[in-house]
Amino acid sequence: MRTGTGGKPSPEGEDGPDGLRAELRHKLRTQRRLRVITLVSLAALVLLVLPAFFGVRAASSDPVLASLDALEVPAWASKNDKDFETGNSLCLGVCEFRERVSESDQSFKETTKVYSQALTKAGWSERKVAGCPEMPVKAEEGTYTCWQRDELTLDLAVGLPGCAVDQVSAEQNPQAGAEAPEPIDPASCVGSTVSIKVWNAIEDERGKTDPAPGPQGVQPDQVLPTDDSIFQQSEPTPATS
């Protein structure tokens, strides 16, 4: 130990106990700051980044298609779903239109039944209006019903499976020189095809009346008088003598 004047111990150098304690305190403060920074970063991640991520994810998903996903139909009634979208949600030019095509393992009658029950449970109301369907559907080929909920209208068409439709099309439109198609095996061609179309009600004109209807039918042309006297100059009244 070094001694100063009068034999008293001199202050320890930087490598002495005081220096070690100062270095230890510095390390502890640094660790505490790192822990605080880590906690703040995690809080920012939870409070800002994750909500933003899920918000963008929710905004990018179509709520109408999500509502179709939520329909309580058996798994056998909604297979190989294919979705199609056109237009835009702001109805700039054309309102948004959605269509979902699915396959069902059961007949169109049983499939229509489960979809009708699911739509009713989801708040849709069936409506019967002119133009639904646009063309009559044969009872042995399928069903076609129309629905409405809030600002949306929905068409549910359930028909024969694709294999049966192809068979009917080949029989009704034979190609020149082509052999007649072989009959389909009823045991292998089963099920049905489901088509769901959803419009904005503002663009669905079916069932609406024109608030300012114009003339109905063909209006007859105006008939002009045929008396030639109207084209002749009237004679002056003779003067009295």
Asked if omega into 186 is within 30° of 0 (cis), the reply is no
Contact 168, 160 (CB under 8 A): yes
Tell me: the pLDDT tens digits for 55-83? 444 444 789 999 999 999 999 999 999 99
Determine the residue type at 67.
Answer: S
Rounded Cα distance between 157 and 165, Å, is 14
Find tokens 């995690």 and name the residue.
Answer: 42
Rounded Cα distance between 201 and 88, Å, is 14
pLDDT at 110: 97
Residue 93 falls in which region: left (phi positive, over 0), alpha (psi -120 to 50) or beta: left
| Number of neighbouring beta carbons within 10 Å of residue 231 | 7
pLDDT at 65: 92
In the chain, at which residue ranges do the beta strands (DSSP E only) sit? Answer: 79-86, 97-104, 125-127, 142-149, 152-159, 192-200
| Number of neighbouring beta carbons within 10 Å of residue 62 | 15
Q: Residue ranges per domain, the chain?
A: 16-60, 63-174+184-203
In 32-96, at which residue ranges do the beta strands (DSSP E only) sit? Answer: 79-86
pLDDT in tens, the chain (241 residues): 454 445 555 454 455 667 777 787 788 888 888 888 888 877 776 776 555 544 444 444 789 999 999 999 999 999 999 999 988 877 777 888 999 999 999 999 999 999 999 999 999 999 999 889 989 999 999 999 999 999 999 999 999 998 887 766 665 666 655 555 565 666 778 999 999 999 998 888 887 776 555 554 444 444 445 555 444 555 555 555 4
